[in-house]
Amino acid sequence: MAADAGTGLGAQGLTDDFERRREAARTRVNRRDDAKSAAGSDRQDFFEAVYEEAGGDAAGVPWADLAPKPELVDWLTDNPGNGRRAIDVACGLGDNAEAIAAAGYQTLAFDASRTAIEWAQKRFPGSPVAYRVADLFDPPGDWLAGFDLVHECYTVQSVAPAMQRDLIGAIAALVAPGGRLLVYTRLRPRDSVPDGPPWPLTLDQAGRFAEFGLHREHENRFEISRPGRTIPHLFATWRKP
């Protein structure tokens, strides 16, 4: 998998300078992000603005790690694709999609941000991943129930709680019969008041994929440390009968 062309960074980790610039970007992004941009086209415009304003510097995209999530990599090691069809939802700069393709899946990755898609294509020239600009709420017809593996990372938590069930349903609709869904999200306590963005899920909310016919196979709860905070996370595997 290629390292990031703009920073020289890849799976080996992020430099201290990158982390400092990312924290500064996080402050700027959180300042401009609020509940007014939590739904519909306004939300898409927000993400497009973040990628545009980053100006090619991945540190300007607070959620970009420039490497696939370790939990995803571990899962893929045990579950190679063997040519099966996969889709990466809201793929951003492409690291997770590239890991999925490297594991042998015929991989499509999409994002609502055109800038993010163009950036991912520049980062990974010659990639086998098919990168597309698309709207999760209005996908091409052949995407519905069309993928043996669906991967979503931080997508549901990016919208306000009032929209999350609809987003969960749209993601679940992509999974083919017998297919799997991988969900990677932050968690918050069940009795806490949502204070986003982002809007981490409670365990109950993270389990709402069951309302759309999926059966949970496995879940892994863990914590990630960031400067000044520790963030609970969940990586869960679902299957559609």
Domain map (residue ranges) of the chain:
70-239
Instruction: Tell me: pLDDT of 3 over 60.
Output: no
pTM: 0.89
**What's the rounded Cα separation, in Å, for the pair 52 and 56?**
8
CATH code: domain 70-239 is 3.40.50.150
Digit-coded pLDDT (tens) for 83-123: 999 999 999 999 999 999 999 999 999 999 999 999 999 99
pLDDT of residue 41: 57
> Over the stretch 14-26, which tens digit does the pLDDT of each residue have?
678 888 888 887 7
4-11: long-range contacts, CB 8 A cutoff, minimum separation 24: 4/58, 4/66, 4/93, 4/123, 5/122, 5/123, 6/56, 6/57, 6/58, 6/123, 7/57, 7/58, 7/59, 7/66, 9/58, 9/66, 9/67, 10/66, 10/67, 11/67, 11/68
pLDDT of residue 11: 37
Residue 197 confidence (pLDDT): 79
Q: Of the ranges 100-104, 140-144, 152-156, 222-226, which one carries the lowest mean pLDDT score? A: 222-226
Q: Which two tokens stand for residue 154?
A: 């931080």
Is the pLDDT assigned to residue 233 strictly greater than 70? yes
Q: Residue 36 — very low, low, confident or very high, per pLDDT cuts 50/70/90?
A: very low
pLDDT of residue 33: 66
Identify the band that residue 194 occupies on the pLDDT scale cut at 50, 70 and 90. confident
158-192 pLDDT, tens digit each = 888 999 999 999 999 999 999 999 999 999 999 99
- Per-residue pLDDT band at 40 (split at 50, 70, 90): low
